[in-house]
């Protein structure tokens, strides 16, 4: 055998807006990649046909073959690779693994997108070589993954790692899940936008800069807040500082619960404002249990928006590669 570094696996990151496909080597390097917009309204079979086209283009470009494909998909999966529900795609009960295996005639393994991104950071990104780590991705929503003792926690019904839905304020802001007061309902991108719009509505004078940047109160987004903060706007600065405190409150709970050696912070909100990492770290060192922070490091994610597709390929390598 020519060495395991020669064996390539495919990764697919299937989200609500795009299908990202890559052929990846054992070191996590992308050998070929393809991206298309997702058209979930056309139904699973049409999207699967798009995935197949992306995969075939990747393999054709690289002039390589592979026997295994990993998929990270936005939604809740059972352990048979059936997508039970995806709010992003609007699908229920799609047997994604079986359909893809039939269409491509290779072995397919499926996980949710955030857990795939966690695997990407763990195997090839900021978490390489660490067997106890937590990834927290703060984008529009907040998701995470927990690696404990060298295994990604799955839980009883395969939903472990939904760190964005821990309660940080009892009876607090309404979340997109059934609960109130979740971390995501304060520090997710959608919630930062909501909080900013409310703050501007309550004090139009203070919100002038945010409205000018966005064009309209309702257009104010987390990115608007970040931009205005960089421009020195006091209201935006205040919103960013509040967001850091909410994030830190959630992270204290995560550190106390899982005692990781490494916390990896990623996602658009964090990557837009790296000071969140240092502020979260400051609060965590003060407020988490001292025994839980002794060996702790807190770092920024390394793979950016490629973590999902690289992690999906690593999933194929971890789960199928060994068996093949
Ligand atoms: Zn929630």
Rounded distance from Cα 122 to ligand 1 centre (Å): 25
Rounded to two decimals, what is the model's pTM? 0.94
CA angle 110, 115, 121 (to 5 degrees): 120
CA angle 18, 24, 26 (to 5 degrees): 145
Q: Which residues contact 238 (CB under 8 A, 6 or more apart)?
A: 199
What tens digit of pLDDT does each residue of 126-178 get? 999 999 999 999 999 999 999 999 999 999 999 999 999 999 999 999 999 99
Rounded distance from Cα 4 to ligand 1 centre (Å): 41
Residue 7 has a pLDDT of 87
Rounded distance from Cα 163 to ligand 1 centre (Å): 9
With beta carbons less than 8 A apart as the criterion, state whether 235 and 199 touch: yes
Rounded distance from Cα 15 to ligand 1 centre (Å): 20
Q: Which residues contact 154 (CB under 8 A, 6 or more apart)?
A: 79, 160
Rounded distance from Cα 28 to ligand 1 centre (Å): 33
Q: 263 by DSSP, 3-state: which?
A: strand
What tens digit of pLDDT does each residue of 186-240 get? 999 999 999 999 999 999 999 999 999 999 999 999 999 999 999 999 999 999 9
Strands 30-37 and 68-73, bridge-based pairing: unpaired
Rounded distance from Cα 248 to ligand 1 centre (Å): 17
Please report the DSSP string for 83-114 in residue order: EEEETTTTEEEE-HHHHHHHHH-SEEEEEEHH
What tens digit of pLDDT does each residue of 59-102 get? 999 999 898 999 999 999 999 999 999 988 999 999 999 999 99
């Amino acid at each position: 055998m020519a060495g395991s570094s020669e064996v390539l696996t495919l990764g697919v990151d299937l989200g609500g807006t795009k299908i990202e496909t890559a052929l990846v080597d054992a070191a996590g390097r992308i050998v070929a990649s393809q991206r298309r917009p997702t058209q979930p309204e056309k139904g699973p079979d049409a999207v699967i046909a798009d995935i197949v086209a992306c995969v075939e283009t990747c393999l054709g470009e690289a002039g390589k073959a592979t026997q295994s494909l990993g998929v990270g998909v936005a939604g809740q999966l059972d352990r048979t690779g059936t997508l039970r529900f995806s709010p992003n795609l609007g699908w229920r009960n799609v047997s994604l693994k079986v359909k893809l295996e039939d269409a491509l005639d290779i072995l397919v393994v499926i996980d949710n997108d955030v857990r795939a991104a966690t695997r990407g950071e763990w195997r090839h990104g900021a978490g390489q070589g660490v067997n106890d780590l937590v990834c927290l991705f703060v984008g529009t929503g907040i998701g995470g993954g927990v690696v404990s003792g060298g295994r990604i926690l799955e839980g009883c019904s395969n939903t472990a790692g939904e760190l964005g839905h821990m309660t940080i304020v009892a009876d607090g802001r309404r979340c997109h899940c059934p609960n109130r007061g979740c971390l995501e309902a304060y520090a997710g991108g959608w919630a930062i936008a909501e909080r900013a719009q409310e703050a501007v509505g309550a004090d139009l004078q203070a919100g002038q800069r945010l409205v000018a940047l966005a064009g309209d109160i309702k257009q104010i987004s987390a990115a608007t807040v970040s931009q205005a903060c960089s421009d020195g706007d006091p209201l935006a600065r205040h919103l960013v500082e509040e967001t850091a405190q909410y994030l830190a409150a959630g992270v204290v709970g995560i550190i106390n619960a899982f005692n990781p050696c490494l916390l990896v912070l990623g996602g658009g909100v964090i990557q837009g404002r790296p000071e969140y990492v240092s502020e979260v770290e400051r609060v965590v060192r003060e407020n988490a249990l001292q025994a839980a922070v002794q060996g702790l490091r807190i770092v920024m994610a390394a793979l950016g928006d490629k973590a999902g597709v690289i992690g999906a390929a690593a999933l194929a390598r971890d789960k199928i590669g060994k068996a093949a």
